[in-house]
Amino acid sequence: MLIPRVIVLSGYGLNCEEETKFAFELAGAKADIVHINDLAAEKSRLKKYQILSIPGGFSYGDDTGSGKAYANKLKNHLKAELDEFINQDRLVVGICNGFQILTNLGFLPGALLPNTSARYTNRWVDLKMAGESPWTQGIRTLSAPIAHGEGRYFADEKILASLKKNNSVAATYVKGEMCEYQDLPPNPNGALKNIAAITAKEGRILGMMPHPERAMFFTQLPHWQYFKEKMGREGVKLPQYATGLEIFKNGVRYFK
């Protein structure tokens, strides 16, 4: 049975690599955190992995726009190796800043623009999962936190039509449990068509703004204590895990 290996990129302001590594290893993979400079110095190293993960953060301080400088670093030093990787039967996931990097690389269509509020937004959202992707198999809904200032998905009509035709919209913001609990609007950033996540390459590349690695345990949910009391009175055991973990489990299952 294959235990997939995951390379989690780091460096220059990416700051969610430890949580992402933990998520993949909890899901059953073997993950390594690798600084982009170390990968550029040993390009063949990428061939050892089945999954490439670009985690969240604020690469290069978002000074030239979220994800642009890190994407240029990848283009200048690893473009051929990345092209080879995505054209094989392997998986890629970019979360938050990672999603922004993937769009700037051209691996995912569209762009992530500043939130319509013109403010950094940190809150929980509810998602309706859809599309045809190994990453989202069996997941109908997901609640997870966001933490971004440039998360508004934008694309022209041609790209939006293509996403719809190819079932490449992986998640949309909807009004669900978290929005009702916190009395918040479903769409936190003004994304077109409420788009929170998209895919490419037959669903093998996933980019999403919410953080599933911050929604893996039931006790990470903002209202878990309410359910602790409620379920305790009903004699129901408190779940250990939340739905965010399923994203990472799906990545592992793909190779098993």
Annotated catalytic residues are: 96, 211, 213
Rg (CA), the chain: 18
Q: How far is residue 249's CA from residue 256's CA, in Å, rounded to a whole number?
A: 10
Determine the residue type at 254: Y
∠ CA(213), CA(135), CA(180), 5° rounding? 55
Q: Would you say 95 and 108 are in contact if contact means Cβ atoms under 8 Å apart?
A: no
Residue from 77, 91, 7 nearest 41 by CA:
77
CB within 8 A of 148, min separation 6: which ones?
Answer: 66, 96, 97, 112, 115, 120, 121, 189, 209
